[in-house]
Amino acid sequence: MTIYSALGWVLALLLLPLAWMLIDAIGGVRARHSAAVNVGTFSVSDFAVLVPIYGNIRYLENVDYLATYGPKVVLCTTTHETDEFNRALIEIASRHGFRIFRAHAAPASHDGKRATGGTVRDTVIREVLPTLAETYVVCIDADTTTTQPLEILIGAMVSRGLDVASIRLVPSNARHSIMTRLQAYEYRLAMKMRVIAPWLVSGACHAGRTEALRDVMRHHSLFFQGNDVETGVLAEGMGYRVGHVPFEVPTTVPETFRAWWRQHLAWAGGEFRLFVVNARIGLRHPYFWSYGLIVTILMLPLRWHAIVHANSILAIVVVLYIALGLYLHRAGRDLALLAVPFYAAFISLVLVPLGAFSYAKMALSARNAGVIRVPERSVRSGSDRETTAAGHTQ
């Protein structure tokens, strides 16, 4: 080995951790300085609220919130639920005026655990959409609520001519423990990214024009993990107008390591599915796929090498990462920021390699590889339609 090649290896090992941090920084800084569109006050009432609920009636935690929308609410379940579940669902629907839709989906799990895989959730959404007369729909999880009326969210979509909208998730229990505080920073950075990548749709809550989502779901793989982002990717690839509405939606994040581990392990499988199994669609979003596939997954051995052969550059990177966190989260920072680099490193070094096994387990169980197929065609986007605001005002 010549002195020049040896010097090249030394520089690579020194600069790799720094480059790792800088790639994380680019998206966050870029998003922070991107112009965000306000939600506004325009109100539209022509929508239905779709709530997937199956497996166990105790998962339906937001009944009091949904009650304010009465007959707009459609409880979306399957034809394979237990008699006990169906009796409870009918009683709740009758009391509040909700509608019930039952899809011919594969049997849901009755083991008392929330599903982290399978095709049930998206099957019930796909089957209910053709039955709706409302112009817009809001898909919301059975444990999710909002601080503002959904009429405002739909009003923002109409005002901007959007076909599909991502929203902003905010942990509602962020101050409960160090675990939830770390997740609050994780969520905050993820939500900033939606300003520049609105197709990063959230399964907990998103909205769309019924006709557009009906079309998108016809092409959806129905794979559970990454299903929300797949909806956004398909909608954008099919020519629909996808945008981000900073409509804040509180969500509960795991408070124990066990619950956090189960959730993030499933997420790691979904990321493997998106970035590796569907690497061919990366050309549509080269920055995110380069980061997810090349930096996060393919460069994993190099990151481990840098950790095993730790040197002073790693200490510098940790300090810079903390400084970056203080800058990006200066409005709500606390001492938990000191642990963020180690939290991110644990996810990157431990959970990422397990993503392949998590994906394989879900794919085999559901007999679904989760391949995303974007139709080679385009449609008229919301901005091309002549929609008068007066026709949608409450």
* Mean of pLDDT values over 190-216: 90
DSSP characters for 78-133? ETT--HHHHHHHHHHHHHHT-EEEEE-PPPPP-SSS--SSSSHHHHHHHHHGGG--
* Mean of pLDDT values over 170-178: 83
- Is 250 part of any domain? yes
Average pLDDT of the chain is 81
Predicted local confidence at residue 197, as pLDDT = 84
Listed range (36-45, 46-55, 211-220, 228-237) with the worst mean pLDDT: 36-45
DSSP characters for 256-276? SHHHHHHHHHHHHHHHHIIII
Confidence of residue 36 (pLDDT cuts 50, 70, 90): low
Distance CA 367, CA 364 (A): 5
- Is 63 part of any domain? yes
- Is 1 part of any domain? no
| Single-letter amino acid, residue 306 | A
Helix-strand-coil split of the chain, %, nearest 5: 55, 10, 30
Fill in the DSSP letter of residue 337.
G
pLDDT of 23 > 60? The answer is no
Confidence of residue 192 (pLDDT cuts 50, 70, 90): confident
Predicted local confidence at residue 126, as pLDDT = 95
Is the pLDDT higher at 67 or at 300? 67
Predicted local confidence at residue 45, as pLDDT = 95
**pTM of the entire structure?**
0.80
Count CA atoms closer than 13 A to 214's CA, side-chain side: 14
- Is 243 part of any domain? yes
Distance CA 35, CA 290 (A): 24
- Is 289 part of any domain? yes
* Mean of pLDDT values over 310-325: 65
Predicted local confidence at residue 316, as pLDDT = 67
Q: Over the stretch 43-56, which tens digit does the pLDDT of each residue have?
A: 999 999 999 999 99
- Is 361 part of any domain? yes
Predicted local confidence at residue 388, as pLDDT = 37
How many domains in the chain?
A: 1
Q: Over the stretch 346-378, which tens digit does the pLDDT of each residue have?
A: 888 899 999 999 999 999 988 899 999 998 765
3 state DSSP class of 393: strand
Tell me the β-bridge partners of 170: 250
- Is 393 part of any domain? no
Q: Which domain CATH number covers 57?
A: 3.90.550.10
- Is 2 part of any domain? no
| Structural domain range at position 333 | 12-371
